[in-house]
Structure 1
Amino acid sequence: MTAPVDGSALEARVGHYYQMDNPYLVGREKVREYARAVQDYHPSHWDAAAAADLGYSGVVAPLTFTSTPAMACNRRMFESVVVGYDTYLQTEEVFEQHRPIVAGDELHIDVELTSIRRVAGRDLITVTNTFTDMAGERVHTLHTTVVGITADEISPGTMAAVQKAMMHDVDFSGIGAPGDSYIKTVRARGRSARGPGHRPKSGDAVVR
């Protein structure tokens, strides 16, 4: 069981930012693997020729494809920045596609803690991932909202019922209290994240 959550200490961490060290290469087989997992059988996700007929240079990733690399990138945030909880329940993902992602894309992935809200006695925590291509153009934005849960807030019966919504890839061992040694890193001045409350531009595809 972790130490109790200090709301003010966590709120002070909003804006914490980091970028993954290496770009993420969108592989053709990864696109097909994801399309199979979500049962999306549009030809453009499977066949390079079908994608080329639509004007794309490679098979097209399903819109929610970014959830997989984002989850890996967000582990550091939930293991060392947003602390004081025993588990997290994912409540919402908002996908904004600024252009289709295709096999062969190399994407830089930013991670930013964009919001912590207290609602009905629970902490709703939003992390925003920004995907940019090698030219620096934003191609996708993903907002993931989770609820922070401590051990005394959830019964064994409820835990079993919400297993599918829990974040299973986060290592909770060794996670400390919000007061533990912490250094805040922020986005460079002049570069802002698109927070979960912004209005998408015309042409952006948004899925909730």
Structure 2
Amino acid sequence: MEATFDVAALVGHHYRVDDYYEVGREKIREYARAVQDFHPVHWSEDAADELGYTGLVAPTTFVSIPAMLANRKLFETVITGYDVYVQTDQVFEMHKPLVTGDRLVSDVELASVRRVAGNDLLTIKNTFTDQTGEIVHIMHTTVAGITGESVAEGISEAIERVVMHGIEIPSRATGVATDQPIEANQPTPSLSEVSRARVPHTAIRFEDLAVGAELPPRTMQLTRGDLVNYAGVAGDANPIHWHDDVATLTGLPDVIAHGMLTMGLGAGFVTGWLGDPGALIRYGVRLSSYTVIDARSVGNVEFTGRIKSLDPETKTAVIVIVAKSAGRKVFGLATANVRLA
């Protein structure tokens, strides 16, 4: 069943969030624990200093936290009328590593709407500038807006009964945007070049790589406790990740891991191999399935990777990442662009 409003007419709607998000030292550690990323630069100032950073370095997908806060009003007051949103694609473009004390301001834009298999695919673009006024991170999030027969009756009421206080439930009512639009005459900030200019301190040298070479595989475990912890740390209160009845009402076989959580695990898989998280400059994931986490057992996600291409001029590589859980491919297509020493 199609949405009863013209969401395509909203393409181009954009605003700037009226407050900044400050990257906190302990928040970095909380998030690194939530995505099981124990690289020392996320935990120790001394380790970060050794690699030339001015503070703890935020894990790759950390920026999803301020993005979720920034996008909340878009879903609550602009893109209304859907019963459920399902994440499908995510792209992170890193122009400068995020470190303790960075103050991020987000510009939010509904960048595109496509109709695929009876559902609207909506892409939201977050552009983050820091206190220097430069663009440090760009994030593209694609979700499917779902309405109608594919969603069980009473899903909104079920969510309302269990979701944490302070979270608005999306509805079909037409909302009114409350953020201020970006002024047309406002200067366009420039892209930071730090991630492309700094000398990477990778454990792997470019000369030692070959197309087709494989990364050491890694298997990571997830429990219901991990999902609850991630929900609290990241601010993703969607009960399909921790409440059996709500997951069933949405047509899922059981509670599933957050897509962003599995992406965070995948990013750590790559940066752990690299040895320098700031050497990852682009990370894109298309989700094809989900990781089911049964209440009576531990879920496993198996990560493998191989070198797809190498660029001698820039000493960069493209890595293809495969993530599987219970024999299913969780990532339909996932790539990481990295710079090497």
Q: TM-score, normalised by structure 1?
A: 0.78
Q: In the aligned structure 1, how far is the partner of 2:50 from the partner of 2:126? A: 30
- 1:197 is matched with which residue? none
Q: In the aligned structure 2, how far is the partner of 1:120 from the partner of 1:24? A: 37
The residue correspondences of 1:1-208 to structure 2 (distance < 5 A) are 4-6=3-5, 9-155=6-152, 171-172=168-169, 175-177=172-174, 185=181, 188=184, 191=188, 203=196, 205-208=281-284
Q: In the aligned structure 2, how far is the partner of 1:113 from the partner of 1:186? A: 13
Q: In the aligned structure 2, how far is the partner of 1:182 from the partner of 1:36? A: 35
Deviates more, 1:73-82 or 1:180-189: 180-189
Secondary structure of the structure 2 residue equivalent to 1:52: helix
Change (3 A) 1:170 1:118: farther
Q: In the aligned structure 2, how far is the partner of 1:100 from the partner of 1:30? A: 15
Q: Percent identity?
A: 49
Secondary structure of the structure 1 residue equivalent to 2:97: coil
Change (3 A) 1:122 1:170: farther
Deviations 1:128-152 (A, max 9, x none): 1111011210000111110001142
Secondary structure of the structure 2 residue equivalent to 1:12: helix
Change (3 A) 1:30 1:42: same
Q: In the aligned structure 1, how far is the partner of 2:111 from the partner of 2:151? A: 26
* CA RMSD, 1 decimal: 3.0
1:22 and 1:108 in contact (8 A); partners too: yes
Secondary structure of the structure 2 residue equivalent to 1:109: strand
2:28 and 2:59 in contact (8 A); partners too: yes
Q: In the aligned structure 1, how far is the partner of 2:35 from the partner of 2:184? A: 36
Q: In the aligned structure 2, how far is the partner of 1:52 from the partner of 1:206? A: 23
1:27 maps to amino acid: G
Task: For structure 2, list consecutive stretches of 5 or more residues without a partner in the other structure.
Answer: 197-279, 285-341
| CA deviation after TM superposition for structure 1 residue 171, in Å | 2.4
Q: In the aligned structure 2, how far is the partner of 1:100 from the partner of 1:23? A: 17
| CA deviation after TM superposition for structure 1 residue 181, in Å | 6.2
Task: For structure 1, list consecutive stretches of 5 or more residues without a partner in the other structure.
Answer: 195-201
| CA deviation after TM superposition for structure 1 residue 173, in Å | 5.5
Change (3 A) 1:150 1:174: closer
- Rg comparison, structure with higher value: 2
